[in-house]
């Protein structure tokens, strides 16, 4: 259980890391806090600075600006530097980085060099047992499946009882079927041991599935931190809205007198973040779940195409816009029946899937609409 009142295990304050030539700001004033027992995922596209942020926390990179605290102790900052081995942070690399010439047992015992021989062996056995790997103690990495190697890498990171485990794209080497299974197993183990963890992923499905909170990164910056539900339902920026799942971006105008945003496709009321002056032009992100199929709906649209995904039918629907012309939007339909291309359906708007979003290069809530 995450205690929101306890001191953070890890705290980054305005951390910047530049690389030359450029300079490329791989981390740009990153501020983050992670609580004890929490699983946080850094999510973002390739090159946005996820690995750099992990390496800064682990101590493999030095920040140009800002401070990093681990367990309440400053480990990096102006005039402060604690080397990686003294930070109490375990890291699982993308390629597992197991030693091929060492057995599973020896791999796990590798980081326990400060313990006596028997204590090392006992600790390795204990951790391997928790991960369901005790039978593989004497095997070599090449004699294991990808998923088993992944768990050995995690066992090695957990064995020294770190305050924090960092995992960089830990599931990307696994095929789709094994991936979900290993992911769920690893998360169950992390929950059982209560260790705090930061994952890195560019897969929004993984991030939403496993995290207490997700930090979405874009060009070195943290764009938004929130629970998976907050990130999906209430993205704060166009970037978050479009990177995490599919969305429809509509132009709208704030109508404070009734607490709504008026768009070309109707009024969304009780939308988040409406403390904006009346008449402000805004951008509204409406998830495909925000158009509910209903015989009493006031909005009618024509199906252009459908994709059955099992859990739902993802459809492209053409709606007439109040401004004239048509607009194609993505809509989720219940999977209980078939839909024909050309079929007319009525929809009602579900405000909980609508969110006023900031254009990343503009101020909060203000849109390019005019
Ligand atoms: N040692 C380095 N020297 C120069 N530039 C670097 C170095 N390490 C990272 N960068 C640059 O910093 C930016 C962020 O890189 P980083 O590896 O943190 O991205 P990432 O989010 O982990 O991407 P991916 O999903 O592809 O792993 C990129 O533009 C990258 O080219
Ligand atoms: Mg990376």
Continuous segment of H or E residues that includes residue 147? helix 146-158
Mutate to test the pocket of ligand 1, among 17, 18, 52 (most ligand atoms within 8 A of CB): 52
Cα(26) to ligand 1 centroid in Å equals: 6
> Cα torsion at 266, 267, 271, 273 (round to 10°)?
100
List Cβ neighbours of 268 (8 Å cut-off, separation of 6 or more).
252, 260, 261, 284, 286, 349, 351, 354
Domains of the chain, earliest start first? 10-233 (3.40.50.300), 238-357 (2.40.50.140)
Q: Whose CA is nearest to atom 2 of ligand 1?
A: 19
Ligand nearest to the CA of 45: 1
pTM of the model: 0.88
Q: Whose CA is nearest to atom 28 of ligand 1?
A: 47
Ligand nearest to the CA of 202: 1
Mutate to test the pocket of ligand 1, among 47, 222, 243 (most ligand atoms within 8 A of CB): 47
Check pocket membership of 56 for ligand 1, CB cut-off 6 A. Answer: no
Q: From first to last of its 370 residues, what are the pLDDT tens digits of the chain?
A: 566 667 899 999 999 999 998 899 999 999 999 999 999 999 999 999 999 999 999 999 999 999 999 999 999 999 999 999 999 999 888 777 899 999 999 999 998 988 899 999 999 999 898 888 999 999 999 999 888 898 899 899 989 889 899 999 888 777 777 778 878 888 988 898 899 999 999 889 899 999 999 999 999 999 999 999 999 988 999 999 999 989 999 988 888 766 788 888 878 876 665 567 888 888 999 999 999 999 888 889 999 999 998 889 999 999 987 777 888 999 999 999 999 999 999 999 888 888 889 875 444 444 433 3
Cα(49) to ligand 1 centroid in Å equals: 6
How far is the CA of 8 from the CAs of 69, 70, 191, 267, 271, in angstroms?
9, 8, 17, 41, 31
Could you give the 3-state DSSP secondary structure of residue 16? strand
């Amino acid at each position: 259980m995450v205690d929101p009142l306890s001191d953070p295990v890890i705290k980054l304050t305005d951390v910047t890391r530049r690389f030359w030539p450029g300079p490329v700001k791989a981390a740009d004033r990153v501020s983050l806090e992670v609580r004890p027992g929490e699983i946080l995922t850094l999510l973002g596209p390739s090159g946005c600075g996820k690995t750099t942020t992990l390496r800064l926390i682990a101590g493999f990179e030095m920040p140009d600006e800002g401070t990093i605290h681990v367990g309440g102790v400053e480990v990096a900052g102006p005039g402060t530097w604690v080397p990686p081995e003294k930070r109490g942070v375990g890291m699982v690399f993308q390629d597992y980085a197991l030693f091929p010439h060492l057995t599973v047992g020896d791999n796990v015992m590798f980081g326990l060099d400060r313990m006596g021989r028997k204590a090392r062996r006992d600790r390795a056995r204990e951790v391997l047992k928790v991960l369901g790997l005790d039978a593989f103690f004497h095997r070599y990495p090449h004699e294991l499946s990808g998923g088993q190697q992944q768990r050995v890498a995690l066992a090695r990171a957990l064995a020294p009882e770190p305050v924090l485990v960092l995992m960089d794209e830990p599931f990307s080497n696994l095929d789709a079927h094994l991936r979900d299974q290993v992911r769920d197993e690893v998360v169950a183990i992390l929950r059982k041991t209560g260790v705090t963890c930061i994952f890195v992923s560019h897969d929004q499905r993984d991030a939403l599935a496993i995290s207490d909170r997700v930090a979405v990164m874009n060009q070195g910056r943290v764009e938004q931190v929130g629970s998976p539900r907050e990130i999906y339902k209430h993205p704060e920026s166009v970037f978050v809205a479009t990177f995490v799942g599919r969305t429809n971006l509509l132009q709208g105008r704030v109508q404070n007198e009734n607490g709504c945003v008026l768009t070309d496709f109707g009024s969304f009321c009780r939308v988040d973040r409406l403390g904006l002056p009346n008449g402000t032009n805004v951008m509204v992100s409406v998830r495909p779940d925000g158009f509910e199929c209903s015989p009493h709906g006031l909005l009618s649209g024509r199906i252009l195409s459908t994709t059955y995904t099992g859990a739902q039918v993802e459809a492209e629907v053409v709606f007439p816009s109040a401004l004239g012309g048509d607009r194609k939007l993505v809509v989720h339909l219940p999977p209980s029946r078939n839909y024909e291309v050309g079929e007319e359906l009525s929809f009602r708007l579900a405000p909980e899937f609508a969110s006023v979003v900031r254009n990343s290069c503009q101020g909060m809530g203000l849109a390019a609409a005019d």
